[in-house]
Amino acid sequence: MMQKSVMRMASLIDNVLDFARGRLGGGLTLVLSLQPLEPTLQQVVGELQSAHPESIIKTDFALTKSVHADPVRIGQLFSNLLGNALTYGVAGEPVTVVAKTQDHFELAVCNVGNPITPATMERLFSPFSRGEVRPSNQGLGLGLYIASEIAKAHGGTIDVTSTPELTCFTLRMPLQR
């Protein structure tokens, strides 16, 4: 329980600091390097799996190329997406993560759950915006905003699709900048 609390507090603090930097004109800083991202993704899955032991996280990593990226920021983006999927997904249903490199890097995080309403979809990546609030939700509504800013800083985008069957957030970014 203490570990979960510390992880949650650290994540909230990171998001608030990133938001403040962005609003003050400093923007997100990147430390780019060309390296495999799978170790970063595996670490995030391990951390969130330990924080949500009752959840099922299925991964499919086909990362055959290195990506010119900031692995810490990509880990932060992924943690925000995976954390949301675990929070908003249906208990007992798996969260699926697919990461691949082809002519670009793609990372998709999908969960079964209620579809995101059109009104929520319009403000999904805005700061301090949240979907349907549940008693267990203690976030500030900065996670998706920060994730989208990290994607933009890498020259990428995050798209979302949401149907009654499945909600998927997909990051697409170039392998090289």
Looking only at the bridges linking them, the beta strands covering 67-69 and 157-162 are unpaired
Task: Find the CATH number of the domain harbouring 92.
Answer: 3.30.565.10
Q: What sign for the dihedral angle of Cα 42, 55, 113, 126?
A: negative
Cα separation, 25 vs 63, whole angstroms: 34
Phi–psi pair at 135, nearest 5 degrees: -55, -30
Residue range of the domain that includes 15: 2-174
- Amino acid identity of residue 85, one-letter, is A
Tens of pLDDT along the chain (177 residues)? 566 556 556 666 666 666 665 555 556 778 899 989 999 999 999 989 998 999 999 999 999 999 999 998 899 999 999 999 999 999 999 999 999 999 999 999 999 999 999 999 998 988 765 555 444 555 556 789 889 989 999 999 999 999 999 999 999 999 987
Angle at 69 (CA atoms; ends 87, 79), nearest 5 degrees: 10
pLDDT at position 126: 84
Q: For residue 173, give Cα distances in angstroms to 44, 105, 134.
A: 19, 5, 32
Cα separation, 46 vs 31, whole angstroms: 23
The pTM score is 0.83
Structural domains in the chain (count): 1
